[in-house]
Structure 1
Amino acid sequence: MTQDFNNRFDALVHDHFGAQLADSGLDTVLADLELDSLGLLDFVMSLEQGFDVEIDVEVVNEDMTLMRIREVLRDLAGDRSAAAGS
């Protein structure tokens, strides 16, 4: 699941930000992408749709790296999978 998850996340991030990521890749901090509040909300909604999870917008902030967001998302997706298995 991990590699598939990472590939899906990477593809979604690339589709959403493309060339803005430059050399930093997943170490990019959201603040460096100069998102306004609607841009951040759009990104979070894309993640929710892409991974079928609900993300508390308060959890995601502009000081987070894309790598950290991926970790939060993985935790949410894992919690959902565990709940479905019980």
Structure 2
Amino acid sequence: MLPVSNVARRHLSPAFLESDSPWREAVVRDAWASLGSTVLELPLVAALDETAEGPGWEVIGREHLPSPGTRAICFSAHIGNWEVLPRASS
């Protein structure tokens, strides 16, 4: 694994005092796997089916949104790629 994994190992030990080394190694490995999956998903976002709102998403209840320039809180389903919400809300 990358040397930066040592940072995770150092932080896991005091945060999970009763954890053993194999458990911490599994957490570090799984964190890298999750990051890798997210990075590999990014190019696929543009390949999602095009809708009126954009590729891969549909806005329901747009009439309830405030005027442009005002603030709103938006909720979205977790589809594994959090980068979609800002693009969808622009």
* TM bucket normalised to smaller: 0.3 to 0.5
Going by fraction, where is helix more abundant, 1 or 2? 1
User: What TM-score do you get using the length of structure 1 for normalisation?
Assistant: 0.36
Q: Which has the higher contact order (CA 8 A, sep 6+)?
A: 1
User: What TM-score do you get using the length of structure 2 for normalisation?
Assistant: 0.35
